[in-house]
């Protein structure tokens, strides 16, 4: 006790913390926790800055590329809690992605020359923009390994489209969007012939090409219009990252490059490797393209068709004055246009300088034809010195830059130094530096690549974690570090291990700008965003048999799948459609079937399908894979595949458990008692303004459904009892009770919600 008093007298803490009762204080006080866990004051501040209590929300939502996992990662800031992995280029069964027919159709769009490609190397996500700021409607992401772009709808966080680049064989510098998402740009990486044919490496200079592909986006349909896309061809330099201009520079894109040496390695045949030949020169080239004029040229028929796709050749681009080159320091990585669109910041990763180019000076040089020469392909080269605003020595291995809310303030990642530099790109002054762990690639500030950055936080996307986390084998997680940039000095707040994939770039959006749905319209095909042709309503379930084919129109609801028995014949094509009848938030059902590689994720309202050939006679149990309710294990059924030519034998099933009149009476008594509880809950809800709460309205609708079912089964039970069929009377009475219990459960959820959200009495 004395010891306890001593603790009280020590000059510690929040007086309020001391005010808690003595018996719990010793164990719980912040001071004790700090001592026990070896935390510094800085640690506690960082903990308090990042902790998000149960039920509270994060301020920003991050969309991060998932690298070779082929997925997009969603997490919250400041908590750094992962919220979702979205299946994009790689099938993912929890989401049913690649396991239902609707999503297979999306993945099939991504086939490369007829082959299924079941992964992607996602690199750079981009949020759709309106007037140069994020609008939170769509997300785009590229695949470097097999040049593709995916469209994700932020209404439901699902992938809706994959388009394949028709001319590139790899693509790193995508995706970036124009100010009003008219176009998504994607640059090539490793040069290759545009045609899908063999060209010897000896013809690298003549026939291998790079370029920038511009994909128009139809915002109303939420889809890229692939047939109207076009490519501006570029020399066989390895094009790297791109950015769209903003404001004054909005009609332009900027794409940098490495290996403008056009070197071809071959270490196995005694030649210096690519890394030697591709890093020999002091400068590479930024590609400056007037995309708006390019689009007009394509419309005007100036494009050449390659693989059926519109390509503006280098000659055309030069002749029409839409393509220029500017030298930039050795092997640049990021090209980042300032919020006002006046500057372009480029870091050469093998140079310690970061260069700030002036867009105005670039325009002047172009207008005055102030070129220092032409590259071997005839593209005018603008002299670097003529258009440089500043060049700043930040440290070793500068890569990418992001902008702050404060004017002229910018943050640049330093890969080799493992640091972030904060500096002023107007004056060139370095303001602060912070060490990260380890080897940062991209970095991200809040809205840091659009017209109105919000500052506040920075995330360092580190490429190595090494010793930061508990070891989990030779393959390490990546490390995203959250840094507080609200003050003058950057402060490290938190390390987040990335458990799957290697993120490259990420974008963060103010959570207020996202308005995702919690359910689909009833009977919805989420991938086409249209009513499903297979929508099935409660009571309208059916199994349609035609020669060689069995088609099931089924439903799921707490806690049964309709139908529960499906009989087919060996060799039949079996097509299953299920509609989830639920409306309540988070009431997803699943569907898995033994031996057939299917898992459907049926969120409220969704309709999903699965088809297979029943090629082996047997017994195939199926069940709901989501723990949706107390009776989820009983949410089961059997698909039976009869052998071809099977002769039905009339059989009477032996009954398992049997029930008596007493069983029936006992159940009815319980049901009457349960109804009293339900009436109370209903009374509470209807005596309050529940209609003002959309989530409660959905719950009330679900509960009303369940009560309707209860009424139907009550009638069945009573009808059986009237016939003294106690077996069915007792079973239906039990089912009547199951419906009641579900109605009560949903009702209680609604009541709790109303109580917690200040509903008013009518």
Which residues contact Cu ion by CB under 5 A? 589, 624, 626, 628, 632, 635
Start-to-end CA distance of the chain, whole Å, equals 54
Among 65, 90, 161, 536, binds a copy of itself (CB under 8 A): 90
Interaction partner, residue 156 (Cu ion, a copy of itself, none; CB < 5-8 Å by kind): a copy of itself
| 405 forms part of the interface with a copy of itself (CB under 8 A) | no
| 299 forms part of the interface with a copy of itself (CB under 8 A) | no
DSSP assigned state of 732: H
Q: Least distance (Å) from Cu ion to the CB of residue 635?
A: 5
| 284 forms part of the interface with a copy of itself (CB under 8 A) | no
Q: Which residues from 498-527 bind a copy of itself, rule CB under 8 A?
A: 499-502, 504, 511, 514, 516-520, 526
Please state, in angstroms and as integers, the Cα–Cα distance from residue 24 to each residue in 20, 27, 251, 281, following that order.
7, 6, 64, 68
Among 40, 368, 546, 647, binds a copy of itself (CB under 8 A): 40
* Edge-to-edge strand list for the sheet holding 371-374: 238-244, 252-258, 283-290, 323-329, 380-382, 371-374
Among 381, 384, 592, 677, binds a copy of itself (CB under 8 A): 592
Q: Least distance (Å) from a copy of itself to the CB of residue 341?
A: 27
List the one residue out of 226, 65, 88, 103 whose CA is nearest residue 150: 88
| 8 forms part of the interface with a copy of itself (CB under 8 A) | no
Q: Please say whether the dihedral angle defined by the alpha carbons of residues 173, 176, 178 and 183, taken in this order, is positive or negative.
A: positive
DSSP assigned state of 192: B
Among 403, 732, 746, 751, binds a copy of itself (CB under 8 A): 732
Interaction partner, residue 624 (a copy of itself, Cu ion, none; CB < 5-8 Å by kind): Cu ion
Q: Least distance (Å) from Cu ion to the CB of residue 106?
A: 25
Site string for a copy of itself, 202-221 (x = CB under 8 A): xxxxx-x-------------
Greatest extent of the chain over all pairs of C-alpha atoms, in Å? 101
Distance CA 513, CA 521 (A): 22
Q: Least distance (Å) from a copy of itself to the CB of residue 67?
A: 6
Of the two residues 367 and 475, which places its CB atom closer to a copy of itself in the complex?
Answer: 475
Q: Which residues from 654-683 bind a copy of itself, rule CB under 8 A?
A: 654, 656-657, 659, 663
| 564 forms part of the interface with a copy of itself (CB under 8 A) | yes
Number of helices (H) and strands (E) in the chain: give both, helices first. 15, 45
Q: Least distance (Å) from a copy of itself to the CB of residue 102?
A: 14
Q: Please say whether the dihedral angle defined by the alpha carbons of residues 4, 5, 9 and 15, taken in this order, is positive or negative.
A: positive
Q: Least distance (Å) from a copy of itself to the CB of residue 529?
A: 13
Specify the DSSP element, H or E, that contains 23. Answer: helix 22-28
| 47 forms part of the interface with a copy of itself (CB under 8 A) | yes
| 643 forms part of the interface with a copy of itself (CB under 8 A) | yes
Of the two residues 264 and 386, which places its CB atom closer to a copy of itself in the complex?
Answer: 264
List the one residue out of 150, 167, 165, 154 whose CA is nearest residue 223: 150
Specify the DSSP element, H or E, that contains 683. Answer: helix 661-686
Q: Which residues from 344-373 bind a copy of itself, rule CB under 8 A?
A: 349-350
Site string for a copy of itself, 542-561 (x = CB under 8 A): -x---------------xx-
Tell me the number of residues near a copy of itself by CB under 8 A: 235
| 492 forms part of the interface with a copy of itself (CB under 8 A) | yes
Asked if residues 401 and 448 have their Cβ atoms less than 8 Å apart, the reply is no
Among 637, 702, 707, 743, binds a copy of itself (CB under 8 A): 637
Task: Pick the piece of the chain touching a copy of itself (CB under 8 A) from 244-252, 265-273, 338-346, 403-411.
Answer: 265-273
List the one residue out of 547, 582, 594 whose CA is nearest residue 568: 547
CB burial class (10 A; 0-12, 13-18, 19+) of residue 326? buried
CB burial class (10 A; 0-12, 13-18, 19+) of residue 335? buried
Asked if residues 450 and 134 have their Cβ atoms less than 8 Å apart, the reply is yes
Interaction partner, residue 165 (a copy of itself, Cu ion, none; CB < 5-8 Å by kind): none
Asked if residues 376 and 235 have their Cβ atoms less than 8 Å apart, the reply is yes
Q: Least distance (Å) from a copy of itself to the CB of residue 179?
A: 26
């Amino acid at each position: 006790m004395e010891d306890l008093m001593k603790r009280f007298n020590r000059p510690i803490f929040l007086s309020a913390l001391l005010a808690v009762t003595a018996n719990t204080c010793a164990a719980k006080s912040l001071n004790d926790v700090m001592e026990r866990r070896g935390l510094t004051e800085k640690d506690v501040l960082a903990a308090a800055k990042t902790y998000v209590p149960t039920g509270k929300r994060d301020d920003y939502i991050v969309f991060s590329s998932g690298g070779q996992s082929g997925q997009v990662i969603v997490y919250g800031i400041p908590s750094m809690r992962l919220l979702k992995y979205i299946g994009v280029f790689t099938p993912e069964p929890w989401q049913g992605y690649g396991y239902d027919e609707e999503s297979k159709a999306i993945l099939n769009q991504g086939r490369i020359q007829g082959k299924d490609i079941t992964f992607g190397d996602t690199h750079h996500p981009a949020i759709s923009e309106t007037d140069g700021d994020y609008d939170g409607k769509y997300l785009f992401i590229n695949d470097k390994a097999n040049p593709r772009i995916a469209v994700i709808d932020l209404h439901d966080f699902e992938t809706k489209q994959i388009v394949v680049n028709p001319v590139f064989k790899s693509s790193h510098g995508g995706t970036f969007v124009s100010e009003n998402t008219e176009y998504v740009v994607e640059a090539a990486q490793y040069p290759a012939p545009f045609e899908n044919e063999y060209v010897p490496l000896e013809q690298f200079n003549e026939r291998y090409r790079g370029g920038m592909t511009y994909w128009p986006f139809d915002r109303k349909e939420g889809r890229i219009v692939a047939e109207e896309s076009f490519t501006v061809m570029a020399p066989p330099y390895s094009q790297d990252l791109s950015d769209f201009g903003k404001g004054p520079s909005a009609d332009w894109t900027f794409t940098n490059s490495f290996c403008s040496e056009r070197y071809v390695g071959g270490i196995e045949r005694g030649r210096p490797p690519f890394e030697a030949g591709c890093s020999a020169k002091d400068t590479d080239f930024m590609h400056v393209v007037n995309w708006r004029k390019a689009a007009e040229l394509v419309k005007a028929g100036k494009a050449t068709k390659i693989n059926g796709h519109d390509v503006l050749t280098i000659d055309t681009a030069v002749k029409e004055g839409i393509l220029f080159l500017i030298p930039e320091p050795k092997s640049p990585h990021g090209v980042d246009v300032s919020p006002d669109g006046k500057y372009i910041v480029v870091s050469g990763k093998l140079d310690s300088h970061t260069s700030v180019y002036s867009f105005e000076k670039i325009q002047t040089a172009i207008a005055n034809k102030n070129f220092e020469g032409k590259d071997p392909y005839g593209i005018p080269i603008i002299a670097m010195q003529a258009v440089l605003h500043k060049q700043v020595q930040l440290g070793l291995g500068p890569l990418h830059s992001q902008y702050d809310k404060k004017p002229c303030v910018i943050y640049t990642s330093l890969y080799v130094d493992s640091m972030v530099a904060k500096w002023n790109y107007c004056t060139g002054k370095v303001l602060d530096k912070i060490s990260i762990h380890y080897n940062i690639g991209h970095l991200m500030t809040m809205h840091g690549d659009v017209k109105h950055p919000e500052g506040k936080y920075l995330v360092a996307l580190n490429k190595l974690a090494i010793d930061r986390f508990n070891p989990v084998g030779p393959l390490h997680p990546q490390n995203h570090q959250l840094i507080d940039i609200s003050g003058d000095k950057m402060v490290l707040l938190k390390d987040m291990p990335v458990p799957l994939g290697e993120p490259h770039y990420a974008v963060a959006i103010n959570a207020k700008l996202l308005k995702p749905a919690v359910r689909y319209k009833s009977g919805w095909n989420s991938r086409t965003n249209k009513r499903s042709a297979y929508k099935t309503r409660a009571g309208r379930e059916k199994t349609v048999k035609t020669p060689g084919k069995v088609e099931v129109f089924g439903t799921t609801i707490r806690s049964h799948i309709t139908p529960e028995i499906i009989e087919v014949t060996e060799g039949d094509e079996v097509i299953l459609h299920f509609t989830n009848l639920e409306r309540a938030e988070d009431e997803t059902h699943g569907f898995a079937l033994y031996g057939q590689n299917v898992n459907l994720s049926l969120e409220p309202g969704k309709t999903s399908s699965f088809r297979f050939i029943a090629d082996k006679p047997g017994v195939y149990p199926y069940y709901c894979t989501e723990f949706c309710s107390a009776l989820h294990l009983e949410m089961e059924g059997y698909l039976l595949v009869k052998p071809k030519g099977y002769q039905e034998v009339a059989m009477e099933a032996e009954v398992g458990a049997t029930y008596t009149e007493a069983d029936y009476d006992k159940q009815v008594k319980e049901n009457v008692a349960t109804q009293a509880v339900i009436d109370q809950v209903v009374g509470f809800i209807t005596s309050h303004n529940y209609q003002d709460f959309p989530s409660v309205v959905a719950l009330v609708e679900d509960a009303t459904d369940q009560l309707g079912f209860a009424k139907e089964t009550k009638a069945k039970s009573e009808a059986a009892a009237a016939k003294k069929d106690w077996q069915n009377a007792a079973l239906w009475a039990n089912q009547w009770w199951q419906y009641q219990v579900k109605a009560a459960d949903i009702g209680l959820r609604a009541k709790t919600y109303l109580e917690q959200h200040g509903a008013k009495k009518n």
